[in-house]
Amino acid sequence: METETKTVEKQTNCLGCNKPLKKLRRYYRNGKYYCTKKCWLKAISAKKGTEEGAQK
């Protein structure tokens, strides 16, 4: 039998501002990394904005 190995890609950029993540400055929320709390809040508000636009 063959065993499958799943490769997990390491996140290298912030999802809020797309800056490279540094080891000392990482903000982890909901399984994803951001550079700061401000970027995390910005990404959440942007996601809510796109969801509201899709519902109307």
What pLDDT is stored for residue 25 in this prediction? 83
The whole-angstrom separation of Cα 54 and Cα 46 is 13
What pLDDT is stored for residue 23 in this prediction? 83
What pLDDT is stored for residue 56 in this prediction? 63
Task: Specify the pTM.
Answer: 0.68
Containing 38, the helix (H) or strand (E) segment is helix 37-55
pLDDT 10s digits, 10-36 = 889 998 899 999 888 889 998 999 999
